[in-house]
């Protein structure tokens, strides 16, 4: 039971009906969408699509799987929604993890990288002065700089920021981080030599004539299911 419960929380890439990546969800949610016929599973190697029955009939052959009462079920690494065409607004959620990534684990006052355990989140304009908890008012500060600044704006403490804090630009690299799977590369924008994505690449059209169900055929769609709740 332990390994099965663990893999159910693994990420699955979600494509809209036009085969454009829009978000991620969990394997558990992906299997639910497959069972409801709101989505089809996509084989990353061949781009063949499968409904739930077809997917369940595939042999595992050593691939990651979910153990069921009847047979092992391959993990759906990519699914395509049957009736959702939109592209959600791309923004980076404000969170502790994303703030550490934006500031590259670097103190924004002294420029040192003492390690995550020695970094704190500092409100540039203190909350007692009306400062908000937001991208443009929060930075990483090492313990020493945080103590020195105390409950004061930087100018009162005689300190300067390395750079002004702003909201990071959304990208799949920011969204996925280390959870990005190799099997998703055919569906995501390709990275350049610096690890950043090239827009407009990695978009595959739905396959035709392979004997499998093609997404977006309009028959028995997702009944309004969009990416909400996927990630």
pLDDT tens-digit readout, 62-93: 777 787 777 788 999 999 999 988 888 778 88
Return the pLDDT at 60. Answer: 80
pTM confidence score: 0.59
Pinpoint the residues of the chain covered by CATH 1.10.30.50.
Answer: 91-169
Among 43, 86, 90, 53, residue whose Cα is nearest residue 216: 86
If you average pLDDT over every residue of the chain, what do you get? 82
For residues 4 and 33, the model is more confident at: 33
Q: What is the mean pLDDT of residues 166-187?
A: 83
Return the pLDDT at 192. Answer: 52
Residue 217 pLDDT greater than 50, yes or no: no
Q: Which CATH class is domain 91-169?
A: mainly alpha
């Amino acid at each position: 039971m332990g390994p099965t419960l663990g893999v159910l929380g693994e990420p699955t890439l979600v494509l809209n009906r036009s085969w454009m990546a829009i978000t991620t969800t969990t394997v558990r949610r992906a299997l639910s969408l497959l069972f409801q016929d709101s989505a089809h599973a996509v084989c990353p190697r061949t781009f063949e699509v499968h409904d739930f029955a077809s997917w369940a009939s595939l042999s595992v052959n050593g691939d990651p799987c979910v153990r069921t009462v009847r047979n092992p079920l391959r993990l759906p690494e990519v699914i395509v929604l049957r009736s959702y065409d939109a592209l959600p607004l791309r923004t980076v959620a404000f969170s502790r993890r994303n703030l550490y990534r934006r500031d590259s684990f670097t103190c924004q006052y002294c420029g040192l990288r003492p390690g995550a355990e020695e970094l704190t989140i500092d409100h540039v304009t203190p909350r007692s002065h009306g400062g908000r908890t937001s991208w443009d008012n929060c930075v990483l500060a090492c313990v020493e700089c945080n103590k020195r600044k105390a409950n004061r704006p930087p100018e009162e403490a005689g300190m300067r920021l390395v750079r002004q804090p702003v909201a990071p630009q959304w990208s799949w690299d920011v969204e996925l981080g280390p959870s990005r799977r190799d099997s998703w590369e055919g569906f995501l924008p390709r990275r350049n030599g610096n690890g950043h994505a090239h827009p407009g690449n990695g978009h595959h059209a739905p396959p035709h004539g392979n004997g499998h169900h093609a997404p977006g055929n309009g028959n028995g769609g997702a009944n309004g299911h969009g990416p909400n709740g996927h990630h």
